[in-house]
Amino acid sequence: MYAFEFERPGSLDAAVKALQEEDAQALGGGQTLIPTLKQRLAMPSKLVSLKGIAELQGIAQEGDVLKVGGGSTHGAVARETKGIFAGLSLMASKIGDPAVRNRGTMGGSLANNDPAACYPAALMATRGTVVTNTREIAAEEYFQGLFTTALEEGEIITSIRFPLPEKSNYQKFEQPASRFPLVGVFVAKYGDRVGVGVTGASEDGVFAWKEAEEALAGNFAPEAVDDLWVSAEGMMSDLHGTAEYRAHLVKVMTKRAVAAAE
């Protein structure tokens, strides 16, 4: 690791200010950033830890929306959304392992936007909103491809807002060595629509599988997607799975998620 200064501000204002310094970078749970620093793939002059900021904590239902503080750990999300939002709780409970879940945060995961990260699938399926220190960004504008988001330099994710579905589920086809999904599909059913968010599959990162959303809105059953076909074009291909294999998994995971939705 290159050397850097470490700062732990106690308020959002102080963190925003600290991040204005040239080459300062936010540190959430460090479960992605610390390994990155070890490989010398980043060279911040200063790390600004967001762990001591009360404004980034807290998970609460506000009417038909679930608000999750950007600094909430995966463990807290798993525990505190049980019974409110089954799919999200299940998703969080399967991220990495218990120690990763005790440190890693939702804000950090969404800011990083790994093409195989779990939360982007939930945010896309629900058409949720990322709230920052300056603005609100809708899911479809937020994700801009691999490791790329609409966030500006120094912008902090303060909370995430998910419209609460009637039923939801997440199916993660796990790549056992990394414990990331090879393909993950989140399904969210509302009174008037269905959302299907797919992660791990496309070269452009998370996407909404719109044909399946339409078909499932008419008939929320696994068979509703039987006649649909996911093209392998633009799917990721690596030693863990070909583009064709991933395309096939998208459909299989969607059907499983619909069948398991609660």
Q: Which two tokens stand for residue 212?
A: 């399946």
**Residue (13 or 223) nearer to ligand FAD, CB:** 13
| Nearest alpha carbon to residue 198 among 234, 159, 150, 162 | 234
3-class secondary structure, 102: helix
**Considering CB distances under 5 to 8 angstroms, the limit depending on partner class, which of other proteins, ligand FAD, none binds residue 161?**
none
3-class secondary structure, 199: strand
CB 44 within 8 A of CB 5: no
Q: Which of 24, 88, 95, 196 binds ligand FAD (CB under 6 A)?
A: 95
| Nearest alpha carbon to residue 134 among 152, 161, 111 | 152
Q: Does 93 engage in binding with ligand FAD (CB under 6 A)? A: no
Residue ranges in 136-175 that form contacts with ligand FAD under rule CB under 6 A: 156-157
d(CA 201, CA 118): 12
Q: Which of 9, 30, 52, 163 binds ligand FAD (CB under 6 A)?
A: 30
Query: How many angstroms separate the Cα of 132 from the Cα of each of 71, 123, 179, 214?
Result: 12, 15, 29, 31
**Considering CB distances under 5 to 8 angstroms, the limit depending on partner class, which of ligand FAD, other proteins, none binds residue 6?**
other proteins
Q: Which residues of this protein are in contact with other proteins, per CB under 8 A? A: 1-6, 8, 30-31, 34-35, 37-38, 46-47, 49, 51, 96-100, 102-103, 179
Q: Which two tokens stand for residue 166?
A: 């009637």
Residue 56 CB, nearest approach to ligand FAD (Å) = 6
Q: Which of 70, 115, 128, 205 binds ligand FAD (CB under 6 A)?
A: 70
**Residue (185 or 224) nearer to ligand FAD, CB:** 185
Q: Which of 112, 129, 159, 202 binds ligand FAD (CB under 6 A)?
A: 112
Residue 7 CB, nearest approach to other proteins (Å) = 9
Neighbouring residues of 227: CB distance < 8 A, sequence distance ≥ 6: none
d(CA 110, CA 191): 27
Residues that bind ligand FAD (CB under 6 A): 25-33, 50, 70, 95-96, 100, 104-105, 107-109, 111-112, 114, 117-119, 156-157, 179-180
